[in-house]
Amino acid sequence: MTLILGIETSCDETGAAVVEDGVLMRSNVVASQIDLHAQYGGVFPEVASRAHIEAIMPVVEQGLSGAGVTLADIEAVAVTRGPGLAGSLLVGVNFAKGLALASGLPLVGVNHLEGHVYSLWLAGRESPVQFPVVCLIVSGGHSEIVLISDHGQYRQLGTTIDDAAGEAFDKVARLLGLPYPGGPSIQRAAEGGDPAAYAFPRALRGEGHDFSFSGLKTAVLRAVQEPHSGKRSPKGEGMTPDQRRADVPIADVAASFQAAVVDILVEKTLDAAAAHGATEVWMAGGVSANTALRATMRAASPLPVRYPPLALCVDNGAMIAAAGYFRYRAGFRDELDMDVRPLWPLTTIAEGMGRGGVE
Ligand code: KG4
Ligand code: ZN
């Protein structure tokens, strides 16, 4: 039995978890900073690093005690090295280094996106994975379609050329006056809305595997400023601009926006899966919590669709411990001079194999 301690501080969640053999979650403690950042409508980097400093010690202690273990039972310390906010990453990385130094345990730096991929292992796999699979990683910072041909073998098939999907949810929520984080707010607001009320753009449709969400955001802005102009069945003639602005049908805008994002995520992921002979379609990251995305992907996919349980969609230490386990098993170790990598593409993680990883 191999127990890995995983530590995550790349953005606004401080996480620590103990995972057994890469698949069994023994503990998973997450301290969220959502309340701190809500007033800014997004993550404020300096506030985030300071909050990590306050939270890291108790979160790691609870991660260990919740699993009923001490550091003496742990085989390696895995920590998110990037991508993410530099000041936030540094808190987790330095804490993990301190633990590794004091205990003599090996240190394993983990790519945050690979962590999201391994949240699917923690969901409890009933059957062995038949590679290749295609995974849609959608979070506040990333929208990527990745071909996974084996553990640690990634090829990026598509990415966003502007905003990430989660970022689009967050920005549109702000436009609509809905609270941060935008994803859950929009999902809730969309419940009573008509997804066909507005014909919002599906950018780059049928044109390769890359995404673009900035035009969609602009279209929503236009709908908010002129609520009836883009509507399929215009009303509001004879109203003043002020009357029209006060009349924004939030539920319809939210539902139509969500449908536009979901349609394009689903179409492009399924196109990529078909083009590359995938055996399964996976989704991970904060936006994979979206119920419309899950339902639409399941309905449209000819292949089995998998996604993590809700608690593992957002950032957490368990996914880092799981990814760290597979990396550790493959022989990856990092030295105590390991630096953070705020922009670390998933496709280059094979670099850094063995001791003294390549920067
Ligand atoms: O993976 P994550 O916790 O952090 C990053 O690595 O970025 O993802 C956070 C993102 C936020 O943009 C949030 O609005 C979005 O995930 N999100 C959702 C939902 N829940 C969280 N987006 C759409 N629908 C949701 N239900
Ligand atoms: Zn994340």
For the stretch 125-138, pLDDT in tens is: 656 789 999 999 99
Side-chain half-sphere CA neighbours of 113 within 13 A: 31
| CATH 3.30.420.40 at 3-123+312-350, yes or no | yes
Residues in the chain: 359
Strands lying side by side in the sheet with 76-82: 24-32, 13-20, 3-8, 76-82, 107-111
pLDDT at 235 over 70: no
pLDDT at 354: 37
Distance 328 CA to ligand 2 centre (A): 21
Report residue 42's pLDDT band, with 50, 70 and 90 as the boundaries: confident
Nearest ligand 1 atom, CA 141: 7
Question: Which CA distances in Å does 203 have to 119, 161, 207, 208, 263?
Answer: 29, 11, 9, 11, 10
Nearest alpha carbon, ligand 1 atom 23: 183
Give phi and psi for 12, each to the nearest 5: -120, 20
pLDDT digits (tens, 9 = 90+) for 89-117: 999 999 999 999 999 999 999 999 999 99
The alpha-carbon radius of gyration of the chain (Å, integer) is: 21
Whole-angstrom CA distances from 63 to 60, 139, 326 are 5, 24, 20
| Residue to probe by mutation, ligand 1, list 113, 117, 135, 169, most atoms within 8 Å of CB | 169
Ligand 2 centroid, distance to 310 Cα (angstroms): 13
pLDDT on residue 239: 61
Pocket test for ligand 1, best of 139, 175, 264 (most atoms within 8 A of CB): 139
* CATH 3.30.420.40 domain position(s) in the chain: 3-123+312-350, 133-307
* Torsion sign over Cα 268, 274, 277, 282: positive
Give the percent of the chain with pLDDT over 90.
79
Whether 52 has a pLDDT exceeding 50, the answer reads: yes
In this predicted structure, what is the pLDDT of residue 47? 87
Q: What integer pLDDT is reported at residue 64 of this predicted model?
A: 98
Q: Rounded to whole angstroms, how far apart are CA atoms 91 and 31?
A: 14
Q: Is 190:258 a contact under the CB 8 Å cutoff?
A: yes
Q: Is the pLDDT reported for residue 83 higher than 80?
A: yes
Say yes or no to pLDDT of 171 above 90: yes
pLDDT at site 12: 87
Q: Residue 158 is inside which H or E element, if any?
A: strand 153-158
Is the distance from the beta carbon of residue 285 to the nearest atom of ligand 1 less than 6 Å? Answer: yes
In the chain, alpha helices (H): 34-38, 45-66, 86-103, 112-122, 165-175, 182-190, 214-225, 241-245, 250-275, 291-300, 317-329
Closest ligand 1 atom to Cα of 116 = 1
155 pLDDT band, cuts 50/70/90, is very high
> How high is the mean pLDDT of the chain?
91
* Nearest atom of ligand 1 to the alpha carbon of 10: 6
CATH 3.30.420.40 for domain 133-307: yes
Work out the average pLDDT over 186-208.
95
Q: Name the amino acid, one letter, at 8.
A: E
Atom 13 of ligand 1 has which residue's CA nearest to it?
Answer: 183
Average pLDDT over residues 160-171: 95
Q: Look at the alpha carbons of 15, 310, 114, 89 in this order and tell me if their dihedral is positive or negative.
A: negative
Distance 242 CA to ligand 1 centre (A): 33
Q: What is the pLDDT of residues 253-275, one digit of tens each?
A: 999 999 999 999 999 999 999 99
